[in-house]
Amino acid sequence: PMPRAIVTGASSGVGLHATKSLIDRGWHVTMACRDLAKAEAAARSLDLDPGRYALAHLDLGSLASVRAFHANIARDHDSLDALVCNAAVYKPRLTQPGRSPDGFEISVATNYFGHFLLANLMLPLLEGAPSPRLITLGTVTANSEEFGGKVPIPAPADLGDFAGLKAGFRAPVAMIDGKPFKAGKAYKDSKLCTMMMSRELHTRHHARTGIVFATLYPGCVADTPLFRDTPKAFQTIFPWFQKNVTKGYVSQALSGERVAMVVADPEFAQSGVHWSWGNRQREGRSAFAQGLSTKATDAARSAELWELTAALTGLT
């Protein structure tokens, strides 16, 4: 039988191209998207085989939508080979926090809370598959071990002592550390949390279930619509800079191929790791398991973040 994956945010960029690469490997992909008409148009633009994908509605910013999505999948299927937590929003120009339907700051709600609840609800389905994987998109800007993670614009990822989460994370709270709102930092914080989530899933569930939990940094995919809310000049200069100066640029097609490798290929069967191909791209270079910052690997902090998030998302 065809192995089956769910890819969140498959209507553009990395998720769309990962869907294509998985289909090319003989997989069936459920494209979990908030805009189904856009997702269908995106699938057609890459000529995806209609027998190899399905569309399903998911708004990760809404906890009710995550629960409804899970109920629909669980009604129709009793196993799942892979879940790819890919969707994200990046809104660096907001001066006031956007709010999710549940009242949470929008980038943390979408990128982290939605995936946290989804991942936990999907565990029983993954357990039903022969060699399941749960793969999460991370990023350098959330890893202070790397140059990209030290860039102080507007500030590096920093979760403080979780004061914002402890205070309930609804207005007027806007940041996990409880400090004043910084839009670009909210994105970095959310990505650091999803990377910590993957480590904590590994700690709690790998030995018991055999599910492989891993994160990856696919390279700098500088021309995806992720950057749609940045200034126009940035959208021209950033890809040029990444191609010619940092040499970190990766095409959308290659980023999708890297996700598919981590989801499907036997070389990537290790759990509890973060995969990278480095920052300066070199042809033929293979992936390596990269260390994460102590911010991302501190076991006590990861466990505390887990408990706070489980309460806020209604998991417990």
Among 3, 7, 13, 112, which residue sits at the site for ligand NDP (rule: CB under 6 A)?
A: 13
Which DSSP letter does residue 10 get? T
Site for ligand NDP in 225-244 (CB under 6 A): 225-226
Q: Are 126 and 132 in contact, with CB atoms under 8 Å apart? A: yes
Residue in 6, 11, 165, 293 binding ligand NDP, rule: CB under 6 A = 11
Task: Rule CB under 6 A: choose which of 112, 217, 277, 306 binds ligand NDP.
Answer: 217
- Measured at CB, which residue is nearest to ligand NDP? 13
Which residue has 């040029």 as its token pair? 240
Q: Is 198 in the site for ligand NDP (CB under 6 A)?
A: no
Give the end-to-end CA distance of the chain in Å, rounded to a whole number. 35
The reply to whether 193 sits near ligand NDP by the rule CB under 6 A is no
Instruction: Pick between residue 178 and residue 227 the one whose CB is nearest to ligand NDP.
Output: 227
Q: How many Å apart are CA 167 and CA 178, to the nearest integer?
A: 8
Which residue do the tokens 């350098």 mark? 140
Q: Which is nearer to ligand NDP, 166 or 243 (CB)?
A: 243
Q: Does 248 help bind ligand NDP (rule: CB under 6 A)?
A: no
Does residue 172 have a cis bond before it (omega within 30 degrees)?
Answer: yes
Residues in region 97-126 near ligand NDP by CB under 6 A: 110
Quote the CA–CA distance of 55 and 85 in Å, as a whole number.
Answer: 16
Q: Of residues 70-99, which lie at the interface with ligand NDP (CB under 6 A)?
A: 86-89
Contact by Cβ (8 Å): 174, 105: yes
Question: Cβ of residue 191: shortest distance to ligand NDP, in angstroms?
Answer: 6
Closest CA to 262 of 297, 226, 212: 212
Structure tokens at 282: 């070199």
Min dist. Cβ of residue 9 to ligand NDP (A) = 3
Residue selected from 224, 281, 309, 313 as contacting ligand NDP according to rule CB under 6 A: 224
Q: How far apart are CA 119 and CA 260, in angstroms?
A: 18
| Of 73, 83, 117, 137, the one binding ligand NDP by CB under 6 A | 137
Contact 168, 108 (CB under 8 A): no
Binding mask 23-62 for ligand NDP (x = CB under 6 A): ----------xxx--x-------------------xxxx-
Q: Does 176 bind ligand NDP (CB under 6 A)?
A: no
Residue 127 identity: E
- Told to check if 142 binds ligand NDP by CB under 6 A, we report no
Of 187, 161, 59, 169, residue with least CA distance to 115:
59
What is the total count of residues that contact ligand NDP (CB under 6 A)?
A: 31
Q: How far is the CB of 250 from ligand NDP (least distance, A)?
A: 8
The residue written with tokens 């904590």 in the block is 200
3-state SS, residue 104 = strand
The footprint of ligand NDP (CB under 6 A) covers 8-9, 11-15, 33-35, 38, 58-61, 86-89, 110, 137, 139, 191, 217-218, 220-222, 224-226
